[in-house]
Structure 1
Amino acid sequence: MKIVSFWRDQKIRLGLLLNNEILEPALAESLLDPGERVFFSDAISFIRGGEFSRKTALRLVALRPVHALHRLDRVTLAAPILPSTILCAGSNYREHNDEKIGSPTSGKEPEFFVKTSDSVIGPDEAIQYDEKLTRKLDCETELGIVIGTPGRHISKERALEHVFGYTVVNDVTARDRQVRRSGDFTWYELGRGKAFDTSAPIGPCITTADEIPDPQVLGIHTRVNGELRQSSNTRSMIWSCADLIHFFSTNFTLKPGMVIITGTPAGTAWSADKELGGRWQPREGLVAAARYFLPGDIVECEIERIGILRNPVR
């Protein structure tokens, strides 16, 4: 099942993506009991409904009420979820670590930083290019884990039981705010470099966990103005999705609707920036970045079984 959010009558609505159509449960009220309707107000309400809301959604999909359907090409998608917290893991692909100068902990433990809902935009919304913040704007395609059931100190063995589904997140980064160097020493400022307006595009949908039983076998790609910049597979993660759920649950009680992003593979614009320690390593089929992102660029972040998240830079 694929969950989306979209605009109708100047409000964001929850929808179920059915190929080229969206089923809006709120328009199928006559088919729902009053106790079922509450789960379809937004994505987080649906996630909190657990198995009950999922079974209700499947019943609506089977009925496919015509009056509740919208053509996909006639609606504007929003971010499929507005998470209260985005827990972020950096330096989680060895190939990405190899193409950049590292901090003392790179590849030895997950980098831990946070983004909030204020950073989130949806498909086709513009990533802001703000020269007062950065002149080295970069993008990173990452798998996002959407938490479904709460837990603290979750074991790795039980971690995937807490997953509602998966989405695509673009970890937009201000490299000249992130990377700091003094002599031979490099450190990262992951606050100003990572969390700012439009720094977390999410979408186009959430694919539920039953459709992705193994999140470590997904192709992951980035295209910039049609050029293939990143191409890898989630099997190349240093720490798996289960590892990261365990890791973050040590600090936080993970709650329904929280999102964990899992790092990016090689091919970022940073890799071509020698000033900040970039070390581009040619890979078959990939085009090296000639520069950082500028207004007019189009970035497409794609993950197998989820879809393509497309955003312009303005």
Structure 2
Amino acid sequence: MSVKSAAASAPFAPFSGPFAIGTLSASGGAAFPGLVAPDGRGLDLRTALGEPALTTLALLERWDETLPRLHALAADRAGAWLSLDDLRVHAPVEPRQIFQSGANYRQHVIDLAVAHRAPDDPRTVEEARAEVAAVMDKRAAEDLPYVFIGLPTTISGPYDDVVLPARAEKPDWELELAAVISRPAYRVTVEEALEYVAGYTIANDLTDRATVFRRDMPPIGTDWLRSKNAPGFTPLGPWIVPAGSIADPSDLQVTLKLNGETMQDESTNDMIFGVARLISYISQTARLLPGDLVLTGSPAGNGIHWGRLLRDGDVMDGSVTGLGAQRTRCVAEEAR
């Protein structure tokens, strides 16, 4: 599948800065780390850096020392550049760990709480929204993000089909900004947290709303294994745009269109906890590794809000300011 997928053709979308990093492959060849130019060209970094066995993850593991060389290569127009039209675009990295932030967009949380009200809830919609808004304010004041862990096997390419499992009764979209870690981070402060970010990419963190909450034992709460971890349920990319090319990760527009109709269109400034706070919070418990993903949560406008969930044949177009765009087509498991 080239950058223009046979399943759902997607035009090349430029990104911020002089270059981005992708994982590419030529027809029938092995995947390789690629330097991508804003005009739609790619450079094989195995050859350009003289390392035949180089992977994107290995590149991220020594990001700080390699970054100046990447800038120099991007400025050299005489390299062996290839057209992305002739290459397949894969997920930009295969992470070892995925940390997912839940309930991190104020408007999104309010919408979900109202949508999941019990039928006999005596509150009006306005009363319910006001109560949830107060809870969000309390969370922000107490500085308590909500983070859970996802599986690397959920990662799929930015133009790959998304298979909707037969068991998923209410599959939904959740477009998000994702931070890509550049070096091991453990117990880092909020002030230094962004120093551990190689760059940013786009993630669509799909969710089966029907299995988010345990029906057999409600006190257990959420079941993220069943609701979020189907194979390919996290289309990622297309690119990792270096952090230095993104002026402010808290001021980016997150937009998802379903079959051409805008469903999500919200700024990251609606996040309750920003990228630095999330990384610092996670690092107080876990050690983040190069290539790990920190998904920052989904803004308002999910299918559960619109009363329209994903189904066979749907096409999702997702974009985040300065990071390019992805396009994925939904295919019912039965149809395969």
Fold conserved between structures, TM > 0.5: yes
1:254–1:185 Cα change, 3 Å: closer
Identify the residue that residue 14 of structure 1 maps to in structure 2.
33
* SS state at 1:192 partner: helix
* SS state at 1:99 partner: helix
Offset of residue 199 of structure 1: 1.2
1:305 matched to 2:322? The reply is yes
1:61 matched to 2:74? The reply is yes
- Any conservation in 2 of the 1:138–1:268 contact (CA below 8 Å)? yes
Q: 2:208 aligns with which of 174, 179, 182?
A: 174
Identify the residue that residue 126 of structure 1 maps to in structure 2.
161
Counterpart CA distance in 1 for 2:147 and 2:258 is 27
Counterpart CA distance in 2 for 1:229 and 1:173 is 16
Could you state the TM-score of these two structures normalised by the residue count of structure 1?
Answer: 0.85
Offset of residue 110 of structure 1: 2.8
Offset of residue 185 of structure 1: 8.2
Q: Deviations over 1:67-94 (max 9, x none)?
A: x211112211000001011100010001
* SS state at 1:146 partner: strand
Alignment of 1:54-93 (within 5 A): 54-66=67-79, 68-93=80-105
Q: Deviations over 1:3-58 (max 9, x none)?
A: 01112243111111112111112233xxx4x5xx37x7121111122232111222
Identify the residue that residue 229 of structure 2 maps to in structure 1.
195
Q: 1:116 aligns with which of 145, 151, 155?
A: 151
- 2:149 alignment partner AA: V
Offset of residue 106 of structure 1: 7.0
Identify the residue that residue 277 of structure 2 maps to in structure 1.
243
Q: 1:258 aligns with which of 282, 292, 297?
A: 292
Task: Please provide the CA RMSD for this pair.
Answer: 2.4
Offset of residue 65 of structure 1: 3.4
- Any conservation in 2 of the 1:180–1:186 contact (CA below 8 Å)? yes
* SS state at 2:239 partner: strand
Alignment of 1:45-56 (within 5 A): 45-56=58-69
Counterpart CA distance in 1 for 2:324 and 2:265 is 15
Offset of residue 200 of structure 1: 1.0
Could you state the TM-score of these two structures normalised by the residue count of structure 2?
Answer: 0.80
- Any conservation in 2 of the 1:95–1:265 contact (CA below 8 Å)? yes
Counterpart CA distance in 2 for 1:106 and 1:6 is 44
Identify the residue that residue 284 of structure 1 maps to in structure 2.
none
1:251–1:186 Cα change, 3 Å: closer
Alignment of 1:255-294 (within 5 A): 255-271=289-305, 289-294=306-311
Q: 1:25 aligns with which of 45, 54, 59?
A: 45
Q: How many residues align?
A: 288
Counterpart CA distance in 1 for 2:33 and 2:269 is 31
- Any conservation in 1 of the 2:99–2:149 contact (CA below 8 Å)? yes
1:3 matched to 2:21? The reply is yes
Q: Deviations over 1:124-146 (max 9, x none)?
A: 11111111x21211110000010
Counterpart CA distance in 1 for 2:158 and 2:25 is 12
Q: Deviations over 1:149-169 (max 9, x none)?
A: 212111011111111000000
* SS state at 2:92 partner: coil
Counterpart CA distance in 1 for 2:68 and 2:135 is 43
Offset of residue 111 of structure 1: 2.7
* SS state at 2:95 partner: coil
* SS state at 1:101 partner: helix
Identical pairs, percent: 29
Offset of residue 290 of structure 1: 4.5
- 1:303 alignment partner AA: V
Which runs of 5 or more structure 1 residues have no equivalent in the other structure?
272-288
- Any conservation in 1 of the 2:62–2:182 contact (CA below 8 Å)? no
- Any conservation in 1 of the 2:177–2:297 contact (CA below 8 Å)? yes
